[in-house]
Chains A and B, each alone.
Chain A
Amino acid sequence: MTEGDEAEASTGATPRVYKPEMPRGWWLRRRHYLLYMVREFTAVPMALWLLWLLAEIHRAASGPKAYYPAASPAFIVFSVICLGFAMYHSITFLSLAGVIIHLKFMGKPVPPRTIVGAMFGLWLVASVVIAAVLIGFAR
Chain B
Amino acid sequence: MNHESTKVPKPAISHLIWWFLFANGGGLAALVLPVHILVQGVLGPLGVVHVVDRNYDTWIGILGNPIVKLYLLGLISLAFFHFAHRLRYFLVDLGVPAARTFPVQLIFYGGAVVVTAVTIWVLVTTAPISFG
Q: How far is the CB of A98 from chain B (nearest CB, A)?
A: 13
Interchain CB contact under 8 A, B51 and A138: yes
Segment 38-89 of A: residues with Cβ below 8 Å from B = 40-44, 46-47, 49-50, 52-54, 56-58, 60-61, 64, 67, 69-72, 75-76, 78-80, 82-83, 86-87, 89
Interchain CB contact under 8 A, B60 and A60: yes
Q: Could you jot down 7 A-B contacts, CB within 8 Å?
A: A50-B80, A58-B126, A83-B37, A86-B29, A94-B31, A131-B39, A137-B61
Q: How large is the interface on B (under 10, 10 to 19, 20 to 34, 35 or more residues)?
A: 35 or more
B31 / chain A contacts, CB cutoff of 8 Å: 90, 94, 122-123, 126-127
**In this assembly, does B109 line the interface, its C-beta being within 8 Å of a C-beta of chain A?**
no
Would A50 and B79 be within 8 Å (CB), given that A37-B93, A137-B52 are in contact? Answer: yes
| Smallest Cβ-Cβ distance to A92: which chain B residue | B30
- Most interface-central of A52, A72, A93 (chain B CB within 10 A): A93
Interchain CB contact under 8 A, A135 and B45: no
Q: Which of B27, B54, B93 contacts A69 (CB 8 A)?
A: B54
**In this assembly, does B107 line the interface, its C-beta being within 8 Å of a C-beta of chain A?**
no
Interchain CB contact under 8 A, A83 and B41: yes
Would A67 and B59 be within 8 Å (CB), given that A49-B41, A50-B80, A86-B37 are in contact? Answer: yes
**In this assembly, does A7 line the interface, its C-beta being within 8 Å of a C-beta of chain B?**
no
Q: Which of A40, A126, A134 contacts B51 (CB 8 A)?
A: A134
Q: How far is the CB of A58 from chain B (nearest CB, A)?
A: 5
Segment 96-128 of B: residues with Cβ below 8 Å from A = 118-119, 122-123, 125-127
Q: How far is the CB of B49 from chain A (nearest CB, A)?
A: 5
**In this assembly, does B66 line the interface, its C-beta being within 8 Å of a C-beta of chain A?**
no
**In this assembly, does A97 line the interface, its C-beta being within 8 Å of a C-beta of chain B?**
yes
B75 / chain A contacts, CB cutoff of 8 Å: 50
| Smallest Cβ-Cβ distance to B60: which chain A residue | A60
